[in-house]
């Protein structure tokens, strides 16, 4: 597994069929890694979409229940205080 920078994150929104709310998480995985995992799940190569959030928790969604997946751009996390 490649070294991950803890200050880079990508926001992922997952819509699940028959669920009133979407799942929103920030992941240290790259946008390309997330897209590959989604593509594998939708192609039937995996029964579950498995992603890891910024705290190391796994999020598992059955592939046949995916309604949509929105992958945000990678961004640098802002730390500290600043003027708006």
Q: Which parts of the chain are beta strand (E)?
A: 8-16, 23-27, 48-52, 58-62, 66-71, 75-76
Q: State pTM to two decimals.
A: 0.78
The set of residues, in sequence order, having a beta carbon less than 8 Å from that of 75 and lying 6+ positions away, is 8, 9, 10, 11
Per-residue pLDDT tens over the stretch 33-63: 999 999 999 999 999 999 999 999 999 999 9
Q: What is the CA radius of gyration of the chain?
A: 14
Backbone φ and ψ for 32, nearest 5 degrees, come out as: -65, -40
State what percent of residues in the chain have pLDDT above 70.
Answer: 81
pLDDT at 83 exceeding the cut of 70 = no
Which pLDDT belongs to residue 73?
A: 83
pLDDT at 2 exceeding the cut of 50 = no
Calculate mean pLDDT across residues 21-37: 94
């Amino acid at each position: 597994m490649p070294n991950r920078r803890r200050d880079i994150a990508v926001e992922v929104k997952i819509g699940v069929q028959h669920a009133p709310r979407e799942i929103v998480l920030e992941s240290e995985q790259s946008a390309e890694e997330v897209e590959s995992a989604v593509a594998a799940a939708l192609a039937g190569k995996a029964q579950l979409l498995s992603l890891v959030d910024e705290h190391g928790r796994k999020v598992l969604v059955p592939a046949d229940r995916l309604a949509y997946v929105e992958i945000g751009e990678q961004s640098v996390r802002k730390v500290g205080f600043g003027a708006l």
